Structure 1
Amino acid sequence: MDRLWQWWDGVELWLVQLPVAVQFPIVMVVVLPLCLGVARLVDRVADLGANNPASLAPESDAESDPESEPEKVTA
């Protein structure tokens, strides 16, 4: 793990020392696709949860009482 941190520190130092005109395209080529991929993953997980909430909920006992309707109050 230490080698990974040393490599990352080297990359970070290299990127910070570049001129801004070079930093911007490099960051956009790396960060933009990464953010797009994470956004798509979050969207798919959210769609899965919205379409089938039982698949993401922890399993419950089959004997548990179903939720009852609240009492209707007449005015």
Structure 2
Amino acid sequence: MNGNERALQNTMFECWRNGACLGYVIRALEILDFEPTDIQLVVSEMRELFDFVSIDEAHAHYCKSPYCFAICYPNR
């Protein structure tokens, strides 16, 4: 696999993970009866964060938050 193919594969994998993450959040917000306009605001903010916060940074933020219900390991 050459560098371009690897980059494309990584991009496709990131899109899937981002989409799955958004799907979880959307479902949770719908279950909690959030308004569609509020869900759209959250989704828009998350899309912005995907561009500026790495997966490792997001995981570390979760682990340090009061919402962390799992044992957090340094490398996910």
TM-score normalized with structure 2 length: 0.37
Q: Which has the higher helix share?
A: 2
- Larger Rg: 1 or 2? 1
TM-score normalized with structure 1 length: 0.38
